Structure 1
Amino acid sequence: MSASILEEFFIKRSQQKKKTSPLNYKERLFVLTQEKLAYYDYDLEKGRRKSLRGTVDLQKVKCVEMVHPEPSAPMERLYPFQVIYDDGPLYIFAKNVDIQLAWIRKLKEMVRFNKDLKQKYHPCFWVDGLWQCCQQEVKQAMGCRVLDVFGSKQRTGSRKPLPPTPVEEAQLSPPEPPKPAASVGMTVIAEYEYTPLTPQDLELRKDEEYTILEMCDVNWWRARDKHGKEGYIPSNFVVQAGNVLERFPWYCKNMNRSQAENLLKKENKDGGFLVRDSSKVGKYTVSVFTKISGETAGTCRHYNICTTSQGQFYLADKHFFNSIPELITYHQHNAAGMVSRLKYFVSNRAQPPSTAGLGYGTWEIDPRHLTFIKELGNGQFGVVKYGKWQGQHDVAIKMIKEGSMSEDDFIEEAKIMMKLCHENLVQLYGVCTKQRPIYIVTEFLSNGCLLTYLKEGLTQHPTNLQLLEMCKDVAEGMAYLESSQYLHRDLAARNCLVDSNGTVKVTDFGLSRYVLDDEYTSSEGSKFPVRWSPPEVLLYRKFSSKSDIWAYGILMWEIYTLGRLPYDRLSNQEIVEQVSRGMRLYRPQLANDKVYSIMTSCWTEKADERPIFQELALNVQDLLYEFQ
């Protein structure tokens, strides 16, 4: 018998091989070996396996992927994944997100060379003869969501005079992030106020409830308020009524440790606290500010919220709670092992996130609604200015100099790019194409370019934590682009921006395809990103998601050298020759061995052996977790 690679107790859903078969959920012991995935009954009293209940031959697996949880799923069924093989989908429920991701990653790794791997999959369950995601009634029906199959290579090519078109890069339809575990008819609660920007939009009032009527656009949902008024709302401004944490003012979503410390120190209250997402996916951390013995400066402490095997939460031994709000309420009155009880909540939720466009369906912006305030710089395509839209919304405006861009191709692509929406991407709001020069209107980030921020913007010597958080921000933005089958092609610190909270966001993704300057596409020209390019790009112009991975490793090096120029003593031609022969950048002084190993994993000779961005993001998160 082959040795066990992974073992875990999972809940397994019956496979519903007949439409009339009732659904049931049973706990099984799953055992993964080199050849099979098997599941068994288990005798808890004797601590041993009982009868074999089923097996899946790994050579027959066609897809391994997450599944969106069912609406109102119980706690034990919040982390499902699916194994697709000849008999259909096998649905498995993990106890937490860490176990879920670990098994998905291992299974994907083991089946990545299988024949007939699926190109599409169903992100929701097959229930009672119907796919819940696309309403198809045939169990073997082709999936409705494009799958980036186990890090497979993107289709690439070359162009004269233009690079590969969106169609050549599998952009046959606007890329969409995974849809939420939500459905038409559900009730949502507004996290932020929203003032309608177009006649089609619906006003949101914080903490009020709304009913979702339509979800055709992942970024804009049609909704109805309590007065019966209907319109479109930004989906990232609301949460499902059942999402408990978002209802509490002390919960700060998408906040890292450095940002938490800055916010708590700014408030400067002994016992000030907040709850934030941990660097470990699915985990939470309580950050507390305290002034010991009346000191003026104060310090921050961070406590991971732990869970028992029964699913209870705790910060201190012998104080267990069924929910995080119950835990917080208790520690508001009792320190119980912490440096202070939780006296005052601190929140960053006054500032809403960016919307995908300035109103539903709006991508063409009237230039008369733009006010130019000051020049920010001069980029590849022309002058960039800070301004206002309709006199109140901060925006950045790229004024495209004529002859620098293939404008018609870009305008078509802009409609797709606007649908890309992530907290670590600079949001494209729209374009002005009715006049020349055309304008590209984007989100404005007050701390400017990451490269300049590294060299000049940090008011004090940065900590390793801050540098690692910058790397995490970029990795997560790029993982989203990767999941949307989108290449950047020019990833570097100069093409990232920093907001007022210190969050790093990736910008100018995909724009290099529309450059008309011949020098830019020449390996000997100063404008070609030679210092960020892998051998297959330097020698053969072979772009793929793995060339973006190489560039990410160089960007990490830029971060840990505080903005030094890569290969600063070599000319572009020398870089082409030396990198092709195996030369790599040295370890920066601020980077430890673990950080440098992530960089070097991006610079392997064979592109197929480089990691994917999702894996890089997880690796960086693991290092960040050591700081929690």
Structure 2
Amino acid sequence: MQSRKFQKRALRRRIASAEKLMSDRLGRSWLDNERLFILTQEKISYYDYDTEKGKKKGLKGSVEIEKIKCVETVCPEENAPAERQFPFQIVYDDGPLYIFAKTDDIRREWIHKMKQVVRFNKDLLQKYHPCFWVDGVWLCCQQEVKQALGCRVLETKNGGFSTKGSRRKSRKPLPPTPQEQEKSSRPLPPQPPPRQSGPGPGATVIAEYEYTPMTELDLELRKGEEYTILEMVDTNWWRARDKFGNEGYIPSNYVTEAGNGLERFDWYCKNMNRSQAENLLKAENKDGGFLVRDSSKAGKYTVSLFTKSGGDIAGSCRHYNICTSPQGQFYLAEKHNFATIPELITYHQHNAAGMVCRLKYIVSNRARNAPSTAGLGYGVWEIDPRHLTFIKELGDGQFGVVKYGKWQGQHDVAIKMIKEGSMSEDDFIEEAKVMMKLRHENLVQLYGVCTKQRPIYIVTEFLSNGCLLTYLRESLNHPSPILLLEMCKDVSEGMAYLESQQYIHRDLAARNCLVDANGTVKVTDFGLSRYVLDDEYTSSVGSKFPVRWSPPEVLLYCKFSSKSDIWAFGVLMWEVYTLGRMPYERLNNTEIVEKVSGGLRLYRPQLANERIYSIMTACWHEKAEERPTFQDLLGIIQDLLYELQ
């Protein structure tokens, strides 16, 4: 007995010395043996363990630290044996890994250490399942979908790290204090977005798109050519030098670091979803036409292929996820592994190897789909109205008429002509300088303003398919479940970015989203409701107030937050899955305030399955703090899309 104890102590010392972290043996009683778990900064690995010889045997599996989303306890099953009394779970992309500790102290020590290691991970969960997944069902909530949103909120945010203190027990939101009321009635001071990561001064970048200078300070970009970065004072505009020695400013989202990523390959279509890929491939109508796009799951890629095999004259699209082996190699067919994705594509351009046909023709949309720039040239935010040409009226919004036009006769723009008395103009103009710096592919880009005359103009990116609400009602015929979910993903992407910049939209709805020529949905008018001077709009009693998209704390106390945007996103999802129906269509505003505050929620749309509806209802939790974040919602939607493709 003494000898065995000595062996165990010696083993622990060796592991602590070798790994410089922490490890212990955790029982897996159903195998009637023990497994050794070893934690490093990169991964947690588990091995079979020989208790007699006191050493580890073969590696049984591992989980990369960066993929872990939650580390929490698990409630033991009823009548569980002694060796299964102290379980905990490591939740990652493939689901939960259950581990059974010898004692509660060991379990607490492991959970504490693992939370320290994963605390900076992306996509940490806000909710988790406290009980086991057994025989196709969660024992805690009886949901039958393994990827279903957790049913218990973590005690603190960000996977259990960021906040301290207890929650208020009352179910009714507290009314704001007079100081809070006064503060909330004034626009928040603008905060510049943080600098984004990327290449530094002196780095070499390659142009992904052509760029024609719009001002004398700009530098022309030619696709595929290299440029040297000189200065990065502005996040969106970098000063650069071309190979001829010319210097000027270039849009930072038009270039990529040399030798880094897939952007230099014509077959890679960045920011393209499944539906857009299918439309592009079908339009080309070439057997073997293909492209590579970002998968719905972050960091993953998908090959989309058009084929007319088997005599199919119309043709069809196939989608192949690029998989990664345990050794870090890429493959479409397991027998053919490659160190890089370009090597994989080159191989499959000559060999089908498990696909319906080989990759024959590159299909790309890059020439047609250069992204929007943050402004119409470096340093341009005040636009000369003489450079604007008005072509046609698009509609009449909250602030006035919106027109489609051209800037300098060539660049498509939308122009909001702000009717006098509708907006607190001075406050908005001050913030417009900061709002221009907000740049995301799922936000409508603000190009600038015309403030030297009245009415003032707001000049933005033009999206040819117009308002999402009208698009849902008039342009969609029998949309696929994937297409509807992709629309929701687009909005959640844009809102997650706004959330990260601490911007509150306050009026998120289908009417305040636009659709571009490719079907991408972009959020617009974010933050503008703060500057409305219309009493009917700014009071929850008024008929113009977005009562149908507002949570109880807004209806009762006008208390806006990112969590009230979450509620509105749930209603927007409902609009998408009803193809543009009016929420609570049989109720007036007064009835909605009363019934929603009393617990009424929108019904499940016919086109939404239970999993989709569960996302909506998670957004409509009465307690604002128990609603998910946009980053949470984005992760859930990405996972669902990944399953569907």
- Fold in common (TM above 0.5): yes
Matches within 5 A, 1:544-563: 544-563=561-580
Letter in 1 for 2:162: R
What is the aligned partner in structure 2 of residue 385 from structure 1? 403
CA distance 1:601–1:522, shift in 2 (3 Å): same
Q: Distance in 1 between matches of 2:40 and 2:294?
A: 25
Letter in 2 for 1:568: E
Q: Deviations over 1:401-444 (max 9, x none)?
A: 00000000000010111000000000000000000000000000
Q: Distance in 2 between matches of 1:489 and 1:514?
A: 11
Q: Does 1:434 align with 2:452?
A: yes
1:65 to 115, 120, 124: 120
CA distance 1:349–1:10, shift in 2 (3 Å): farther
CA distance 1:586–1:550, shift in 2 (3 Å): same
Tell me if structure 1 keeps the 8 A contact 2:286–2:307: yes
1:33 Cα deviation from its structure 2 partner: 6.2
CA distance 1:520–1:258, shift in 2 (3 Å): same
Q: Does 1:613 align with 2:630?
A: yes
What is the aligned partner in structure 2 of residue 486 from structure 1? 503
Q: Does 1:584 align with 2:606?
A: no
CA distance 1:112–1:515, shift in 2 (3 Å): same
Tell me if structure 2 keeps the 8 A contact 1:61–1:114: no
What is the aligned partner in structure 1 of residue 19 from structure 2? none
Tell me if structure 2 keeps the 8 A contact 1:384–1:399: yes
> Unmatched 5+ residue regions in structure 2?
1-23, 28-36, 44-61, 74-85, 89-100, 102-108, 124-149, 166-175
CA distance 1:410–1:310, shift in 2 (3 Å): same
What is the aligned partner in structure 2 of residue 423 from structure 1? 441
Q: Distance in 1 between matches of 2:387 and 2:607?
A: 46
Tell me if structure 2 keeps the 8 A contact 1:9–1:29: no
Tell me if structure 1 keeps the 8 A contact 2:193–2:438: yes
Q: Distance in 1 between matches of 2:180 and 2:229?
A: 42
1:203 Cα deviation from its structure 2 partner: 1.0
Q: Does 1:232 align with 2:282?
A: no
- TM-score, structure 2 length as denominator? 0.76
Q: Does 1:363 align with 2:345?
A: no
Q: Distance in 2 between matches of 1:273 and 1:8?
A: 43
CA distance 1:3–1:378, shift in 2 (3 Å): farther
Q: Deviations over 1:360-386 (max 9, x none)?
A: 111000000000000000000000000
CA distance 1:410–1:291, shift in 2 (3 Å): same
Q: Secondary structure at the match of 2:466?
A: coil
What is the aligned partner in structure 1 of residue 338 from structure 2? 321
CA distance 1:9–1:469, shift in 2 (3 Å): farther
1:450 to 468, 475, 478: 468
CA distance 1:272–1:507, shift in 2 (3 Å): same
Tell me if structure 1 keeps the 8 A contact 2:268–2:291: yes
1:296 Cα deviation from its structure 2 partner: 1.9
CA distance 1:242–1:470, shift in 2 (3 Å): same
1:3 Cα deviation from its structure 2 partner: 8.5
1:245 Cα deviation from its structure 2 partner: 1.0
Q: Deviations over 1:81-117 (max 9, x none)?
A: xxxxxxxxxxxxxxxxxxxxx9xx99932223347xx
Letter in 2 for 1:486: Y
Q: Does 1:201 align with 2:186?
A: no
Q: Deviations over 1:112-137 (max 9, x none)?
A: 3347xxxxxxxxxxxxxxxxxxxxxx
CA distance 1:336–1:107, shift in 2 (3 Å): farther
Tell me if structure 2 keeps the 8 A contact 1:272–1:345: yes
Bigger Rg, which one: 2
Letter in 2 for 1:435: Q
Tell me if structure 2 keeps the 8 A contact 1:2–1:33: no
Letter in 1 for 2:294: D
Q: Distance in 2 between matches of 1:420 and 1:364?
A: 16
Q: Deviations over 1:194-249 (max 9, x none)?
A: 11111111111111111111112111111111122211110000000022411110
Q: Distance in 2 between matches of 1:12 and 1:305?
A: 23
What is the aligned partner in structure 2 of residue 99 from structure 1? none
Q: Secondary structure at the match of 1:596?
A: helix
CA distance 1:486–1:270, shift in 2 (3 Å): same
Q: Secondary structure at the match of 2:644?
A: coil
Q: Distance in 1 between matches of 2:527 and 2:113?
A: 37
Tell me if structure 1 keeps the 8 A contact 2:187–2:531: no
CA distance 1:334–1:60, shift in 2 (3 Å): closer
CA distance 1:451–1:11, shift in 2 (3 Å): same
Q: Distance in 2 between matches of 1:410 and 1:438?
A: 11
Q: Distance in 2 between matches of 1:65 and 1:332?
A: 39
What is the aligned partner in structure 2 of residue 414 from structure 1? 432
CA distance 1:59–1:205, shift in 2 (3 Å): closer
CA distance 1:608–1:300, shift in 2 (3 Å): same
Q: Distance in 2 between matches of 1:225 and 1:341?
A: 38
CA distance 1:454–1:63, shift in 2 (3 Å): same
Q: Does 1:215 align with 2:227?
A: no
CA distance 1:454–1:620, shift in 2 (3 Å): same
- TM-score, structure 1 length as denominator? 0.78
Tell me if structure 2 keeps the 8 A contact 1:157–1:542: no
Percent of paired sites with the same residue? 73
Q: Deviations over 1:163-196 (max 9, x none)?
A: 33222xxx3x3123x5123222111000011111
Q: Distance in 1 between matches of 2:463 and 2:373?
A: 14
- Say what the alpha-carbon RMSD is for the aligned residues: 3.4
> Unmatched 5+ residue regions in structure 1?
14-26, 38-48, 68-78, 80-101, 116-153
Q: Distance in 2 between matches of 1:346 and 1:396?
A: 30
CA distance 1:290–1:8, shift in 2 (3 Å): farther
CA distance 1:12–1:2, shift in 2 (3 Å): closer
1:519 Cα deviation from its structure 2 partner: 0.8
1:524 Cα deviation from its structure 2 partner: 2.2
Q: Deviations over 1:272-327 (max 9, x none)?
A: 00000001110000010001233321000000000101111110121111111111
Tell me if structure 2 keeps the 8 A contact 1:59–1:114: no
Q: Distance in 1 between matches of 2:186 and 2:305?
A: 51
1:617 Cα deviation from its structure 2 partner: 0.6
1:395 Cα deviation from its structure 2 partner: 0.1
CA distance 1:519–1:62, shift in 2 (3 Å): farther
CA distance 1:387–1:334, shift in 2 (3 Å): same
CA distance 1:8–1:596, shift in 2 (3 Å): farther
1:598 Cα deviation from its structure 2 partner: 0.3
1:157 Cα deviation from its structure 2 partner: 4.5
1:61 Cα deviation from its structure 2 partner: 6.6
Q: Distance in 2 between matches of 1:59 and 1:248?
A: 39
Letter in 2 for 1:611: P
Tell me if structure 2 keeps the 8 A contact 1:396–1:442: yes
Tell me if structure 1 keeps the 8 A contact 2:448–2:458: yes
What is the aligned partner in structure 1 of residue 485 from structure 2? 468
Q: Distance in 1 between matches of 2:379 and 2:413?
A: 18
Q: Secondary structure at the match of 2:317?
A: strand
Q: Distance in 1 between matches of 2:570 and 2:322?
A: 32
Q: Distance in 1 between matches of 2:318 and 2:638?
A: 19
What is the aligned partner in structure 2 of residue 125 from structure 1? none
Letter in 2 for 1:193: E
Q: Which runs of 4+ in 1 moved over 6 A?
A: 1-4, 27-31, 58-63
What is the aligned partner in structure 1 of residue 161 from structure 2? 111
Tell me if structure 1 keeps the 8 A contact 2:42–2:64: no
Q: Secondary structure at the match of 1:231?
A: strand
What is the aligned partner in structure 2 of residue 292 from structure 1? 309
What is the aligned partner in structure 1 of residue 362 from structure 2? 345
Paired residues, what number?
525
Q: Distance in 2 between matches of 1:311 and 1:490?
A: 44
